Structure 1
Amino acid sequence: MSELGFYRFANNEPEAIALIEPSEKIWTRGKLLAKTNQLTHALRNFGVQKGDVIATVLPNSVEYYIVYLACAQSGFYMVPINWHLAGPEIAYILEDSGAKAFIASGEVPAMEEACLKAVSAINFPMEGRISTTNMESFIHLNDFIKGYPNTNPDERTAGQVMNYTSGTTGKPKGVKRALVEGNPDDILSMFAMILSFFNIQPQDENVHIVGSPLYHTAVLVHSSAALHYGHSVILMEKFDAEKMLYLIDKYKVTTSHMVPTQFHRLLQLPDKIKNKYDCSSTRTMIHAAAPCPIHTKQAMIKWWGNSIWEYYAATEGGGTIVNAEDWSKFPGTVGKPW
């Protein structure tokens, strides 16, 4: 495990591809680490300390990972907020989490409006408002990190993501786990071992595609684990069935974390579209979050072979898992506990 961890990979092999953003712009490990380190230095200088919270309202973008990686090597908590929430809902999470900085985006007009209403409602400190787009009363991320070094910071320690529950039984609640002391590469690659449940190996020419919003817990967990395992990540702005097939074919995608609805939309494509793209590179295309109709899963296994895996889990931990071979013997099974 001592050779794993994104920061370790980036320092040792800076020219390898870390991430391809929705525009298909390529980010090498070295370039992604450089931006991460600049943000780390800037946040520390701003006064963010170990155990403090950075909240985000961001679309799927490279900035999502820059913020995550900065928090994860500094002992900060990152709180991803659903960008579909209204201003008062965002304001509640900002206040409840005690966020010291708020990194937002106005890429979508409704997103910008909600963020502006949120900071106004609770008088969030002006100096802690950071944006990846030009927004009134926010400092642009590029200006916030300007002038800071891209060197590895001192006194690195592992941070965590603090997700808020859906709030179906009241207001959302933050799931705040104690920080684990230690080298970020060691700690985070240990957490990334969740991928081993699905027989996913470190490096091994693996390419992970993200077709779901990163504010969902499992989507960020699996894609960040991919980075810590030395995999490349292909990022979609939003799910588009044919676009996903195109990206799988072009970049020889091996893994993903998906939901049954996406399978359904893929299967609805005309055969002439599906047959245009080669999906034989897929090895472990995981689905979760909702039950998958038997006929849908059977059709996906017929198309993508035994790369289809399923699991169920909960915030509290634990769940079940099943691979395609075992599921095919007992269609509809949720597998065995883990």
Structure 2
Amino acid sequence: MRTPTQPVRNRLHHPELTTLVQTARFHAGRQPAAPAVLCEGRTLTYADLHGASNRLAHALRAAGLTEGDRVAYLGKESEHYYEVLFACAKTGTVLVPVNWRLTAPEVSHILQDSGTRLLFLEEEFAPIVGGMPTAPPETVVGLGSIVAWRAGHPDTETGFEATPDTPVAQLYTSGTTGLPKGVVLAHRSFFAIRDALAAEGLDWIDWRPGDIALVGIPGFHVGGLWWATQNLNAGTTIVAMRAFAARQAVDLVRDLGVTTACVVPAMLRMMLTEPGVTTGDFTTLRKTVYGGSPISEALLEKSLAVLDCEFAQIYGLTETGNTAVCLPPAAHVPGGPLMQAAGRPYPRVRVKVIDEQGRELPPGAVGEVCLHTPARMTEYWGLPGKTAETLVDGWIHTGDAGYVDEDGYVFIRDRVKDVILVAGENVYPAEIENALESHPLVAEAVVVGTPDERWGEQVHAFVVPAPGQRPSSRELHTFLVPRLAAFKLPSRYEVIDHVPRNPSGKILRRELRDRFWSDSARKVN
């Protein structure tokens, strides 16, 4: 493995910055000409970012938006995404990034649930908004005209000063009821882990002068938003990909001299299987941060050999403000005892494992993993009951089953909640089951996650037909396509006579799922 080219003492940490408002102001004054965002050959400097987001903030105010109003962004990554993010920060409005892979009904739910008043819309996705069963927000601004829309407004600040507890983003994560929930994150969610690492002098994840960071995970995902803000807070340069493509990612690393990257394991696998990829494509890369799902030992070995850099695994949820646990580079030893671990908590983050009665379990005992982190969410938007179930006395109940060893390392073994992880995206069975059961030929449906070498997990649907019916896989798939995003669609449909249940009527989902995982030490992938 290459030796890092810069000593750890050169880490970038600006402890005086506690909000994104301060970040934009500080770096525009300190290094105005430094590149903040690179996207498809365009460069947005820190001065550009500050000025454009100021104009956009005044434009939001002129459109009647005030503190607490929701502003949605439906589009692929670009410099405009970050201009909107900082404009929201400077007005106290809350950014709602919308997954552009969703269908019209799914997008409609997010816009309605959040109460979005203004939508920034990439023209490519106008048909989705046009096909929604509900009316669009009162104001829709095409991204192609965003420059003209903000023109004429001053490039000075609005005067709004956020606090670390001011909400700044609302990200939607699928829920056990089938409807996505809005996770509200405050400014502190994007500073707390940085401060914790710096306080202990740890370089598990670090930012250094001259860093150029590839943002492989999209900004509607907490991992992509968190990674981008960490680098912008440090004053480094981010490379925004419109949408992840393996060949393009390899080319960007090589041609732009990328030094750090944040990806999910499926992205690594795709990059390494691109024809002609060699170690020479990654000579500038010093650290790869990955999360969303565990990495297989075979993929890690190949990644270490080809990328030839340090690796850090991060574990957390949208509700924890992204990462709360990290497997540091030193633990990434193929065949080593920690390669099955999710990692250990950062300083200032606590972990406990509890049983079904909420009692804390000793090291080695398997139960639900709970995390106490200063980066945690403030609430599920408009769902106080659900918030109280997940956020208890400052502890986030993850829904993951695992244990903590004597050295404080967290090991994830299964899931308490019925979530499926497809290439780092949370998919909840209830959402798919509800859609399937609305088909006239389906009496009942149960969905589980099964192992998949490329994507980590895939969706497997069990279907009980209506009396006298037998729907084909093609019929069911065609029915679901306009109702669910592509990554939620089942890879296989299996017809069964009945759904297994316990005496109280609860579905024995585990009975259907376990046969696919019989050869795995972990029932997560």
Q: Under TM normalisation by the shorter chain, which class is it?
A: 0.7 to 0.9
What does 1:221-260 correspond to in 2, within 5 Å?
221-260=226-265
Cα-to-partner distance string for 1:118-149 (whole Å, 9 max, x where unaligned): 3x722532xx111113xxxxxx3233212101
- Whichever of the two has the greater Rg, that structure is 2
For the 8 Å contact 1:211–1:237, the answer to whether it is kept is no
How far did 1:287 drift? 0.8
What is aligned with 1:137? none
Q: Map 1:174-213; keep pairs closer than 5 Å.
A: 174-177=182-185, 179=186, 189-190=191-192, 192-193=194-195, 199-213=204-218
- Say which structure, 1 or 2, has more relative contact order (CA 8 Å, 6+ apart): 1
Deviations 1:298-330 (A, max 9, x none): 111122234111121123327432123213132
Change (3 A) 1:203 1:293: closer
2:75 alignment counterpart? 58
For 2:137, the equivalent position in structure 1 comes to 124
For residues 310 and 329 of structure 2, the distance between their equivalents in structure 1, rounded to whole angstroms, comes to 7
Match of 1:82 in 2: 99
SS in 2 for 1:316: helix
Q: Specify the alignment match of 1:274 in structure 2.
A: 278
Distance 2:216 2:49 in 1: 20
1:297 aligns with 2:295: no
**2:116 alignment partner, one of 99, 121, 129:** 99
Look up the match of 1:13. 31
Query: What is the one-letter code of the residue matched to 1:249?
Result: R
Structure 1 residues 314 and 93: CA distance shift in structure 2, 3 A = same
CA distance in 2, matches of 1:241, 1:195: 31
What is the aligned length? Answer: 317
Which letter does structure 1 place at the counterpart of 2:229? Answer: S
Correspondence for 1:113: 127
Structure having the larger proportion of residues in helix: 1
Rounded to whole Å, the distance in 2 between the matches of 1:17 and 1:163 is 27
Aligned mates of 2:32, 2:251 — CA distance in 1: 27
Go from structure 1 to structure 2 and tell me whether the alpha carbon gap of 1:314 and 1:198 turns closer, same or farther (over 3 Å shift): farther
Shift in Å, 1:82: 0.7
Which segment is superposed worse, 148-157 or 227-236? 148-157
- Match of residue 183 from structure 1: none
Q: Which residue of 2 aligns with 1:136?
A: none
Q: Contact 1:259–1:289 at 8 Å: present in 2 too?
A: yes
Contact 1:192-1:229 within 8 A present in 2 as well: no
- Name the TM-score, length of structure 1 as normaliser: 0.85
2:220 maps to 215
C-alpha change, 1:187 and 1:304, in structure 2 (3 Å) is closer
| Contact 1:55–1:94 (8 Å) recurs in 2 | yes
1:24 aligns with 2:28: no
Is 1:336 aligned to residue 344 of structure 2?
yes
State the alpha-carbon separation in 1 of the partners of residues 173 and 16 from structure 2. 33
Q: 1:95 to 1:313 in 2, by over 3 A?
A: same
More strand by share: 2
**Per-residue CA distance 1:14-35 (angstroms, 9 max, x = gap):** 11111111x2111111112211
CA deviation after TM superposition for structure 1 residue 87, in Å: 1.6
2:205 touches 2:312 (CA, 8 Å); kept in 1? no
Contact 1:38–1:150 (Cα < 8 Å) also in 2: yes
What is the letter of the counterpart of residue 36 of structure 2?
A
| Distance of 1:26 and 1:202 partners within structure 2 | 20
What is aligned with 1:163? 171
Counterpart mapping for 1:121-160 below 5 A: 121-122=134-135, 124-125=137-138, 128-133=139-144, 140-158=145-163, 159-160=167-168
- Greater alpha carbon shift after TM alignment, 56-65 vs 325-334: 325-334
TM-score, normalised to structure 2's length? 0.56
Partners of 1:245 and 1:274 within 8 A in 2: no
**Inter-partner Cα distance in structure 2 for 1:187 and 1:171:** 24
> Structure 1 residues 294 and 124, CA, compared in 2 at 3 Å: closer, same or farther?
same
Greater shift, 192-201 or 143-152, is seen at 192-201
C-alpha separation in 2, matches of 1:37 and 1:150:
5
Contact 2:90-2:157 at 8 Å conserved across structures: no
Deviations 1:234-257 (A, max 9, x none): 111222223222221222212221
Q: Distance in 1 between matches of 2:290 and 2:189?
A: 26
Change in Cα spacing, 1:155 to 1:52, as seen in structure 2 (3 Å) is same
Asked whether the equivalents of residues 81 and 215 of structure 1 are also in contact (C-alpha less than 8 Å), the reply is yes
- Contact 1:5/1:188 (<8 A) preserved: no
Q: Give ranges in structure 2 of 5+ residues lacking alignment.
A: 1-14, 347-525
What code does the residue aligned with 1:308 have? F
